[in-house]
Amino acid sequence: MSQKPFLRIDNIRKRFGPIVASDGVSLEIQEGEIHSLLGENGAGKSVLMSMICGMVRPDEGEIIYKGQSVRFNSPREAIRQHIGMVHQHFMLVPNLTVAENYILGQGSALRVINDMDEVHAKIRELSDRYALDVRPDALIEDLSVGEQQRVEILKTLFHGIDLLILDEPTAVLTPQETDRLLALMRDLVKDGKTVVFISHKLDEVMRVSDRISVMRDGRVVNTVNVADTDARGLARMMVGRDVGMELARNPANPGPLVLSVENLTCRSETGLPAVRGVSLHVRAGEIVGIAGVSGNGQTELSLALSGLLPVDGGRVVLNGKDITGLDPVRINASGFSHIPEDRHKHGIVMSMSLSENTVLQRYDQPPFAARGMLNRRMISEHTRDLIKRFRIKSRDEDQRIGDLSGGNQQKLVVARELARNPDFILVNQLARGIDIGAMEFVMEEMLKQRDSGRAILLISTELEELFAICDRILVMFHGEILGELPPDRTRLDELGLLMAGKTEQPALAG
Amino acid sequence: MEQVNQGVRENVYPQAAQALYRTLSQVAISAVTPLAAVIVALACGAALLWLNGFNGSDVVTVMIFGSFQDMRSVGEILLKATPLILIGAGLCVAFRCKIWNIGAEGQLYVGAIAATFVGTSIDGLSVWVHAPLVMLAGAIAGAAWAGIAGYLKVRFQASEIVTTIMLNYIAIILTSYLVTGPMKDASAAYPQSARLVREAWTPRIVSDMRLHVGILVAVVLAVALYIFLQRSSRGFALRVVGQNPHAARYAGMNVGRNIMIAICISGAMAGLAGAFEVAGVTHRLYQNISPGYGFEGIAVALLAGNNPLAAILSGGLFATLRSGSEVLQITSQVPQVLVLVIQGIVILSVVAFAKLRDIIRIVA
């Protein structure tokens, strides 16, 4: 390095209970650059940046900022050092005005800021300089998400920044708003500020960055100049795993059509179009994969298929029966099993026992219930059987599932969903957050299910997972299926390009 | 740490002993914390009294044991325990479903109105028909009143905390209006309803005591609600909705319907308590039919850790404290406000210890 780094992170470690969020991260940020942090959900990007801005304290390691070792105990201390962060979830009070939000926590109990005119003037000036269109007297709750984000960015400018950290800022924006944000980042750098841009969207990162660091599993895998890389290489770095998994598998023997999806559209919970006309078919005895960088509509697709998100248009047919927009209880009863992406949100009830979690859907059906009462003996027996068959490490069937490791929790979800004898299994992130052993086990179980004639749709951001068990791989980008590939490792580059949204054949120059 | 401890235990104890140890320690944690809460609260109360120039420990002793003088006074305690157990056990069900029904007081009043109506307007039925009919009327009215708040929550996401509190005011003022207007006993000078016909009265257990069969109904229903929550399919669904509504939806449970059932059960229990106050105790509807049983019931449920079975005990404890404070007012110079302060400390301490219990559970 020719110049001294503006910010150096040295071997930072952070654990939350059993979860390692940062596993010895080292990173250097130069003054006046746009430095992107790229990585999958859970790779440790947000936690790392929260440590820089004083929200979270590292367990080990050092942060050197402007040549000095710093250790912030609160965001306030970081703000005083001119470090600002815009979080994924905005930190604004909805029923206060923009100006009121800015002076929150300023001053003290004894010294009240009383010159609001000055505050308003300063906000107007900054807003004009960066074309942010922020009115100081606007109520936060009246603003759109995009506007609120500009309010957040202006807040950091208001307090004065040299370093601005943006955590997944484009996740909530429309393409036009995204363009505007990227332009703003360029303007800020022109004024001598430094920007750290956290994202998992390859194209945006390629468009705006000077340098890019790729994070995976709580570590920085690599830092590259944007000129020296391309979307293909980045995709590889993001999803690549060192362990190549080779599972013994028979050739697929697809039978009759089980699930057909025609032109499905739906919106995300924030109301933005998320799935835009997806069509796909899954036959009995095959595993169809959906690859894609996360945030391209996969979450919404799986929620819409399982009845947890309203469908705007299109049709979902399971075993010849139209299940479009039905409620989950009817979809569940049609031979549909769902291994959800967010285990803790949808998959299990953390405070309940393994037994109770085993009968989450069948709590009122025989043999687990009779005349409205639970048959606890049957439930216990069934759970013990699953624990044994899936080698779930637990004390007994009455243990709280929250006390189990993530891998064992996932095994129980898989066990439960398979035990319901489904015709179709929707899997979103089969092996997220679980160890290699458990991963291989659940994958082998999926192959067994396939061979016994079940139709499986596996949505995953882990290419290894898809290559290991899928018979066909579809690529999803911006809510659409861009193409289909065989699970052939030699065509990884093609897959990476599709994942970056490039459908045309690549020129072989780069 | 946790893992290590468990590992050690596994080596030392055989399987069965381990299970027993676990159960016992769980029971101990569940039982000790509420007990500790009450003891700490009473100690604080004693200190407070001492600061005000009273002999604190004597006063507290009177508060707890003063009401245990003879069978009659025990009967009076049980009489007060009846609505507290009913409401407390009912609220356990709502709270388990994470429905914060603060409206038991209003549901009690509406139950009392319905019971009065059925008890005064019908005549000539046998006691075997009329008395249960009065109870049923109270329960249905309470459930319907709570159902309003439930519907507003399910349909419009209106906070049940706000709506149930508002419905309390409406029910209490409605009662005042009825006993001064349409339902007023024409021959009486005071605002009160006509007397319920004899057959509508809740039968007494012993003829010369005020204690009525309501206490038995309360205990039976509390046990039934415990079994409902722990052993029935519907109770299971209510608990899942309370613990993780997203998982409930994923599993195909109808979140709205379960919320309605939970809040209506708690409303029915409060309405039944209101019916017993009229049909079992006063035999007429008055403006202030409840001395705040609906609010104390919240503390009963909290102290019971939202377990209807434990609500029987905690309901009994709060009834004892209430009786004791009445004895105090008669026999000593302790001002009533101080007694109320001590009751307040008990409730605060219960909440604090409930939090502590969660922490201990996590650590243990």
What pLDDT score does B236 carry? 97
Question: Which of A470-474, B3-7, B38-42, B153-157 has the weakest average pLDDT?
Answer: B3-7
CATH superfamily of A7-229: P-loop containing nucleotide triphosphate hydrolases (3.40.50.300)
Q: How far, CA to CA in Å, does A1 sit from each of A5, A9, A29, A195?
A: 8, 15, 11, 19
Residue B42 forms part of a structural domain: no
Structural domain of B188: 55-332
Q: Which CATH architecture has domain A243-335+422-510?
A: 3-Layer(aba) Sandwich (3.40)
Residue B191 falls inside a structural domain: yes
| ipTM of model over 0.90 | no
What does the pLDDT look like over A169-219, one tens digit per residue?
887 777 778 888 999 999 999 999 999 999 877 778 889 999 999 888 788
Q: Which residues contact B157 (CB under 8 A, 6 or more apart)?
A: none
Report the CATH number at residue B114: 1.10.3470
Please tell me the distance in Å from A395's CA to the nearest CA on chain B.
9
Exposure on the CB side of residue A481, measured as CA atoms within 13 A: 21
Dump pLDDT digits (tens) for A98-113. 998 988 877 655 556 6
What confidence tens digit (pLDDT) does each residue in A119-162 have? 899 999 999 998 888 999 999 988 887 888 899 999 999 988 99
Q: Is B252 close to A348, i.e. CB distance below 8 A?
A: no
Return the pLDDT at B59.
77
Convert the pLDDT of each residue in A49-62 to its tens digit.
Answer: 889 988 888 988 99
Mean pLDDT, range A63-82, rounded to an integer: 89
Chain B residue with the nearest C-alpha to that of A348: B247
**Chain A from 333 to 362: CB within 8 A of any B CB:** 333, 338, 340, 345-352, 356, 359-361
Residue B320 lies in a domain: yes
User: Is the pLDDT at B182 greater than 70, yes or no?
Assistant: yes
Confidence of residue B212 (pLDDT cuts 50, 70, 90): very high
Question: Domain total for chain B?
Answer: 1
pLDDT for A296-306, tens place per residue? 899 999 999 99
The pLDDT value given to residue A28: 92
| Nearest-by-CA chain A residue for B364 | A403
- Please say if the pLDDT value at position A284 is more than 80: yes
Angle at A266 between CA A263 and CA A269, to 5 degrees: 165
Judged against a pLDDT cut of 80, whether residue B57 lies above it is answered with no
Question: Is B339 a member of any domain?
Answer: no
For residue A418, what pLDDT band results from cuts at 50, 70 and 90?
very high
- Region B116-144 average pLDDT: 95
For residue B15, the model assigns a pLDDT of 63
DSSP letter for A349, please.
-
Q: 291-330 in B: which are within 8 Å (CB) of A?
A: none
Taking the C-alpha atoms of residue A467 and residue A465, their distance in angstroms, rounded to an integer, is 6
Residue B8: inside a domain: no
Instruction: Give which of B90, B29, B40 is closest to B312, Cα–Cα.
Output: B90
Look up residue A105 and give its two tokens: 């926590």
Q: Of A217-231, A369-383, A436-450, which has the strongest mean pLDDT? A: A369-383
The string of pLDDT tens digits covering residues A8-28 is 999 999 887 666 788 888 999
Residue A35 pLDDT greater than 60, yes or no: yes
Mean pLDDT within A360-364: 93
| CATH 3.40.50.300 residue window(s) in chain A | 7-229, 243-335+422-510
Query: Could you tell me which residue, A489 or B215, shows the higher pLDDT?
Result: B215
- Nearby residues of A253 by Cβ (< 8 Å), 6 or more positions away: A285, A451
CB contact under 8 A, B231 and A363: no
B249 in contact with chain A, both atoms CB, cutoff 8 A: yes
